[in-house]
C-alpha cells in the first residue's frame, strides 16, 4: 500500500497486547493450566500473576510454555484492523510492545493474519517505552497499561488509553481514555486540526510561546 506522501504524517506508536488484542487473550490457557474458572470480569489487575494469585517465577514458567500459543490465538479488538489500515494510508505505524525479541516471529505472523500493516515493530522486553517513543519521534501513543500511559504523559507524549477494568484511574490532560478503536480517527483528526491551527497562529505571531498540544476531554 502506498502512503499519501502529500499529507503531513504522524508517527503513531501502538501497543499490541490488550490494545490491539482483546485484553484477556491469555485467560483460556491460564484457566486450563492452573485449573481456574476466571472470567474477564475477574481481571481487574494488569499483572497476570496477581490476577492468578501466583508468584512471578510460576507465571514466567507458564508464559515460557504457552506464550507463543497465546499470542498466536489472540482475538483482535473490534475495529482495530480497519482503523489501523486507514491510518496507515497517511501516517507511520509503529508497534511498540513489552514482548521480548523472541516473540518477533509470532507477533509478525499474527499482525499479518489480521491484515494489519506496519512500518516498524519494536519488542522491548520491558514496559519502559519512553526511550523508544522518543527514538520514533512519537506524536501519539495508543496503550492499555495505566502506568505506561502516565509515564509517557510525564515524558511529554500524547496518549490514547484503551479502556479496560485494570486501567481505571485519574488521567492527566494529555491522556484520553477511549472505549473503542472507532474513537481513534476522530481524535487524530482533531489533533491534526489543532496542530494546523497552532501553526497558523505561530506564523501570524512569530516568537509567541505556544505550548504543547493537549488532548481535551471528550
Going along the chain from its start, the domains and CATH numbers come out as 11-21+78-197 (3.40.50.1000), 27-73 (no CATH)
Which of 116, 102, 111 lies closest to 68 in space, CA to CA? Answer: 102
The per-residue pLDDT for 191 is 85
114-155 residue pLDDT tens: 999 999 999 999 999 999 999 999 999 999 999 999 999 999
44 Cβ contact partners less than 8 Å away, ≥ 6 residues apart = 51, 165, 166
Mean pLDDT value across the chain = 89
208 Cβ contact partners less than 8 Å away, ≥ 6 residues apart = 201, 202
26 Cβ contact partners less than 8 Å away, ≥ 6 residues apart = 48, 66, 70
Residues in the chain, pLDDT under 70: 1-8, 195-218
pTM summary value: 0.86
The per-residue pLDDT for 193 is 74
The per-residue pLDDT for 197 is 53
DSSP-assigned letters across all residues of 74-96: PPBPTTHHHHHHHHHTTSEEEEE
DSSP-assigned letters across all residues of 162-201: E--GGG-S---TTEEEESSGGGHHHHHHHHHHHHHHHHHH
Three-state SS sequence of 98-157: CCCHHHHHHHHHHHHHCCCCCCEEEECCCCCCHHHHHHCCCCEEEECCHHHHHHHHHCCC
CA dist., res. 195 & res. 88, Å (int): 19
Amino acid at each position: 500500500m502506498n502512503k499519501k506522501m502529500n499529507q503531513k504524517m504522524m508517527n503513531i506508536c501502538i501497543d499490541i497486547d490488550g490494545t490491539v488484542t482483546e485484553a484477556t487473550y491469555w485467560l483460556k490457557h491460564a484457566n486450563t493450566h492452573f485449573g481456574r474458572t476466571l472470567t474477564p470480569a475477574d481481571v481487574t489487575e494488569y499483572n497476570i500473576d496477581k490476577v492468578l494469585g501466583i508468584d512471578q517465577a510460576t507465571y514466567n514458567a507458564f508464559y515460557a510454555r504457552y506464550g507463543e500459543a497465546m499470542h498466536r490465538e489472540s482475538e483482535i479488538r473490534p475495529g482495530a484492523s480497519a482503523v489501523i489500515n486507514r491510518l496507515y494510508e497517511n501516517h507511520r505505524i509503529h508497534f511498540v510492545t513489552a514482548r521480548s525479541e523472541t516473540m518477533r516471529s509470532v507477533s509478525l505472523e499474527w499482525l499479518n493474519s489480521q491484515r494489519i500493516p506496519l512500518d516498524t515493530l519494536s519488542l522491548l522486553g520491558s514496559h519502559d517505552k519512553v526511550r523508544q517513543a522518543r527514538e520514533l519521534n512519537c506524536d501519539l501513543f495508543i496503550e492499555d497499561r495505566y502506568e505506561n500511559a502516565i509515564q509517557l504523559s510525564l515524558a511529554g507524549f500524547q496518549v490514547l488509553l484503551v479502556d479496560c477494568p485494570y486501567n481505571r484511574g485519574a488521567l492527566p490532560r494529555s491522556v484520553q481514555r477511549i472505549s473503542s478503536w472507532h474513537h481513534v480517527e476522530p481524535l487524530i483528526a482533531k489533533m491534526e486540526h489543532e496542530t494546523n491551527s497552532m501553526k497558523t497562529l505561530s506564523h501570524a505571531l512569530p516568537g509567541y510561546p505556544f505550548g504543547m498540544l493537549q488532548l481535551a476531554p471528550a
